[in-house]
Amino acid sequence: MGKRHFVSSGALACAVLLAMTAAQANDSTGYVGTGGVEYLKNKNISMHSEDLYISKEEVRVNYEFKNLSNKDITETVLFPMPAVPSFIDSDYADTSATYGNFKVWANGKPIAPDQHVRTFMYPIIIKNGEENYAETPIDTTNLFKACGISDAQMMSPWTYKFDTDDINQRLLDCNSKALDRFIDDRESLYIPWDSQVIYSWKQTFKANTITKVKHTYKPLVGSSVHLGEEEFPSFCVDASTQKGFNKNSGRPYHALSYILTTGANWAKPITNFKLTVKRDPNELVSFCWEGKGNVKKIGPTTFEIKESNFVPTHDFDVAFIMK
């Protein structure tokens, strides 16, 4: 079986970015349990506003949540980071720069979130006599732990503190029939698996009150030497931008994704939503937008979208293209 490409998925398009399997995401309530992560829809708390800033250097989000009830409510808030592969291409994002960079404040006070790690593997499927990996991964955290692999080792695609080959050897040596779903060659150290970091914290939302939550982090940004015609629809590259490319040569680019759709897990539409995208002076920026708001250029390198009563139904993929 060949090496997998990693796809950023969304309602707009699917693009091979060599960047991430999951993406930066809006907050959601839920819980982390032994069986996995559960994201829950909250009927008592609305996202009154979201002010989202995206650049290659920083993602910054300011939320205002409103407790619609007459009682204080304490919930677990989850912020999932991308699931990153244990095998990393040379143009993959710098996970070490993102790891440990997440910061969160509630009503202006810093919070030290809990950190969880999950692993995912892709089941092997046989179709027309050929073996391939399934597109949808399965949470295998408990399987890794049963094979004696620690949280710190499962975090190695982020921290680089452990040799992946040593971890894979432990999987090969593990006497578990459950691994047969994911490993076809017990002699090969090539075992695809992904590692996801999830931050969580307990948040009390006061009755009939606005709670302000802010977080910042350095995003995972993928790159490629060539943005060609096959990727144009994924980022809605317009005709004028395409004309600026040399014929058949494409352009080097960076890309990142942000999962907006988890923002629909709250009680109501987002009353006030604002997205700001900032590029470097030597770049073009291209992305799709399916909301009602128009994209406005508010500065030489800055673009803005505003929405009212916004229900996110698609995720956001953006390409930063070298001129």
Query: CA–CA distance from 10 to each of 15, 222, 264, 297, 315 (Å)?
Result: 9, 16, 14, 24, 5
CA end-to-end distance (rounded Å), the chain: 37
- How high is the pLDDT of residue 260? 83
State the Cα–Cα distance between residues 207 and 168, nearest whole angstrom: 49
State the Cα–Cα distance between residues 79 and 225, nearest whole angstrom: 31
- Would you say the pTM of this structure is higher than 0.95? no
- How high is the pLDDT of residue 249? 59
Query: CA–CA distance from 243 to each of 9, 224, 303 (Å)?
Result: 27, 20, 21
- How high is the pLDDT of residue 322? 85
Please answer whether residues 64 and 211 qualify as being in contact, where contact means their C-beta atoms are separated by less than 8 angstroms: yes
Q: pLDDT per position in the chain (323 positions), as tens?
A: 322 222 222 222 222 222 233 345 555 544 444 344 445 677 899 989 999 999 999 999 999 999 999 999 998 888 878 788 887 654 555 676 677 788 999 999 999 999 999 999 999 998 888 888 888 899 999 999 999 999 999 999 888 889 999 999 999 999 999 999 999 888 899 999 999 888 889 899 999 999 999 999 888 887 777 787 778 888 888 877 777 665 555 688 888 888 787 777 788 889 999 999 999 999 989 999 988 888 999 999 999 999 999 988 888 889 998 87
For 135-168, write each residue's pLDDT tens digit: 889 999 999 999 999 999 999 988 888 999 999 9
* Residues paired with residue 214 on neighbouring β-strands, in sequence order: 62, 105
- How high is the pLDDT of residue 183? 92
Please answer whether residues 26 and 78 qualify as being in contact, where contact means their C-beta atoms are separated by less than 8 angstroms: no
